[in-house]
Each structure stands twice: as C-alpha cells, then as structure tokens.
Structure 1
Amino acid sequence: MPKQVDHDQRRRQIAEAVWRLAIRGGLEDVTLRQVAAEAKVSARLLQYYFGTRDQLLLGALEILNDDAERRARERLATLGEAPGMHALVRGVLLELLPLDEERRNRHLVYAAYFVPFLTDPALVKVARDTPHAMEELVAALITQGQELGQVSHDLDAAAEAAFLVAGADGLQTTVLLGKRTPEEAVALIDHQLVRIFALTTRD
C-alpha cells in the first residue's frame, strides 16, 4: 500500500528549514538548494510545494504567522472569560516582544525578512501592501474600552494603537540586541497602558 504523505507536515518541514536558515544567517542569499538540503528534501519536491524562491519565502512566513496567531490566542485565553480591555491590549502587545524562546526565535525570523522586504522587487510590494492588522486590532480594543468607559473618549484610538504597536516593535529590537531585558520592555508597555487606561484600575 502506498505511503500516505501529510502535505501540511511536509510544507511545515520545509518552512522550518527556512526559519532555521533565517536565524543562522539571514535570508538575503538563501537559495532553493540550501533550503532543500536543510529540509532534507529534493529541490524538485520543494518546488512542488512552494514554487519559486519568493513563493517559498512568503509561504514560510505565512506558516509562521499562522503559528503566531494560534499561540497568541492560546495565551490570551489564559486571561479568563472576561479579562477587560486593558488586559487584552496588553496581551496583544506582549506578543510583539521576545519574552520566551518561542517568541524570540519567531522575531529573529521576522528580522531576517526585513532586508529582503526592502530590497527584493517581488517582495517590496507585498510588504508595502500588507494591512496594518495589529494596529487595527489594538485600535478596535481601545475603542471598545472607550465604549465601556475604560478609556477616555478624548483619546484618538487609531493614533494610540499606531504608537503602541510601533513602540512594541522598537522594544522588540532592543531586547533582541540585549540592550533591554524583557522585563524592562514589559514595564515600558505597562507605563503606556496605565496612561491610556487611566480611568480604571489595572485589570
């Protein structure tokens, strides 16, 4: 009887090879042949699952993003049934920080995508056209906080969300570089959230 192939698992096997190469030396010069060797599959099989090099990089990134979203939902679920907007915004922002090995490795991979997204013509447009999903989520939570009386109506939810996400992104880099500890980064996030949620006590 022919051996059944788990195609999702095979795609993940190849994506994880991309991530390992990204962490070890970046992605600017990574080739399909290198990824195939790292994943222990043939170049033909790699192309069957992902196609071109650019499609491979984007496909591996999509799998990484799906993993990040799943783990974020799991962590947010631990906040309880009714955690409040303060706790939810905080939980979302902490996903942007390398607070454990899983998130640190993920953010190292994201960092490796930075140069290709700036310089590769096929990837520049993809990066530019990506929606501001994280900002929109945080803005929606802050707006809900305003509706619940937990945030002042004088605050601009979209502007605050953009500032918080940009700040968390910047903190992420300083933690990866060892310029700040994870605890210091979390304290700075908390400092900003106290300002925004000043109408209520911390959840």
Structure 2
Amino acid sequence: MPKRVDHDQRRRHIADALLRVAAAQGLHAAGFREVAAEAGVSVRLVQYYFETKEQLLLFGLRRVGEQFTERVQPRLASGVLPPAGRARIEFVLTATLPLDAESRSLYVLYNQYFALALTNPALAAQPYGSDPDALETWLVEQLRACQADGRLAPERDPVAEASIVLALTVGLGNAVLAGRRSTDDARRLLACHLDDRLGPQD
C-alpha cells in the first residue's frame, strides 16, 4: 500500500528549511537549490509545492508567525499565568525579544521580511501587515483588563499605551541585536516600564 503523504507537513518542512537558510545567510541567499539541500529533498520537490520563490517566501512568513505561537502558547495555555494582566503582558513581550538562540532567529527573520516587504508589494499585502496589529489588539485588551482591575490609571489610554510599549519593545530588540544592549538590560528596561504603568509584579 503506498505511503500516504502529509502535504501540509511537507510544506512546513520545506518552509522551515527556508527559514534556517535565511537565518544563517539572509533571505536573498535562500534559493530553491539552497532550500532543497537544507531540507534534504530535491529541487523538483520544492518546485512541486512552491511554483515560485515568492510563494515559498509567503509560506515562510506564515511559518515565522506559527513558530512564535508554538513558542509561547504552551505557557499561555498552562494556567501558570493569569488569564489577563501584567504577568501575561510581560511574558509575551519578552518572548518577542531576541534573548536566546531561538528568539534571536525569529527576530532576525521577521526583520528580514519587514525589510523585503518595503519593496515587495506581494509581501506587503500579506498577513505580515496584520500580525503586528493582532499583537497590538491583544495588548489593548490586556491593558483594558488591567485598567478594570485598577492596575492601569483610568486617565491612561490603553490604545496609546499599547503603541508605546510595543515601540519600546521593538527598540530594545533592535538594540540587543546590534549589541548596544544586553539581554538583561532589555528585560530590566521592559520590566521598569511595566512597573511604571501597571505596578510591580504580584
């Protein structure tokens, strides 16, 4: 009986190979031949699943988001963190920072896609543009819950506060990547900002 092929799994396998090549050498170096070699498959198979490099790049972008979710979801779903509030916010924002090998790779990849999207209309029109909005929407909901609990001052605008803390987080991440801030500095400065807005951790 012929072996049943999981095509979605095969696509993810190839896209993950693309991301590994891109993390090490840059998206510009991730051609079909390089991706096939990294994935351990033929170039023909890569072309079977992705007719163009653009299709492969778009699927790879989706995998960046999925890998981040896979990284944070187990802890968010474990019940260790409260369903809303300061601890949950700090955990998710800290997870976006390049603080270890895995998060650094995802951060570099996301920045590469950002740079490419500035000149590639197809990429700019993809979920890349809505992913940051999804994080900001989630953060606004969390901050409104903090406001209802008395942690965020009533005069503070949760929408503006979400934009501010996201801008801070991106700035810290870029500083860590450039070697201008240590990972400990990034954690500390993010925590200081959240202490100022929401009070210290319980």
The 1:6–1:122 alpha-carbon spacing in structure 2 relative to 1, beyond 3 Å, is same
Tell me the SS of whatever aligns to 2:96. coil
Q: How does 1:178-193 map to 2 (within 5 A)?
A: 178-193=179-194
Q: Residue deviations 1:45-88, cap 9 Å, x none?
A: 22332332112111112122112112212233467253650111
Higher relative contact order at CA 8 Å, sep ≥6: structure 1 or structure 2? 1
Corresponding residue for 1:125? Answer: 125
Query: C-alpha distance in 1, partners of 2:32/2:59?
Result: 13
Corresponding residue for 1:197? Answer: 198
Query: C-alpha distance in 2, partners of 1:15/1:92?
Result: 24
Corresponding residue for 1:174? Answer: 175
Contact 2:15–2:60 (8 Å) recurs in 1: yes
Q: How does 1:104-183 map to 2 (within 5 A)?
A: 104-126=104-126, 129-131=129-131, 132-183=133-184
Q: How does 1:85-104 map to 2 (within 5 A)?
A: 85-104=85-104
- State the aligned residue count: 201
Query: C-alpha distance in 1, partners of 2:3/2:84?
Result: 49
Query: C-alpha distance in 2, partners of 1:175/1:48?
Result: 39
Query: C-alpha distance in 1, partners of 2:23/2:29?
Result: 13
The 1:45–1:36 alpha-carbon spacing in structure 2 relative to 1, beyond 3 Å, is same
Deviating above 6 A after TM superposition, structure 1's stretches of 4 or more consecutive aligned residues are none
Q: Residue deviations 1:71-120, cap 9 Å, x none?
A: 21223346725365011111111111122222112112212223211122
Q: Residue deviations 1:122-179, cap 9 Å, x none?
A: 2233377425111111111001111122211110101110111121111111112221
User: What is the TM-score normalised by the length of structure 2?
Assistant: 0.88
Q: Residue deviations 1:14-69, cap 9 Å, x none?
A: 11211122112211353233322332323332233233211211111212211211
Farther off after superposition, 93-102 or 113-122: 113-122
User: What is the TM-score normalised by the length of structure 1?
Assistant: 0.88
The 1:36–1:179 alpha-carbon spacing in structure 2 relative to 1, beyond 3 Å, is same
Contact 1:139–1:158 (8 Å) recurs in 2: yes
Contact 2:15–2:63 (8 Å) recurs in 1: yes
For structure 1, which runs of at least 5 residues remain unmatched after alignment? Answer: none
The 1:81–1:180 alpha-carbon spacing in structure 2 relative to 1, beyond 3 Å, is closer
How large is the Cα RMSD of the aligned pairs?
A: 2.1
Counterpart residue type for residue 42 of structure 1:
S
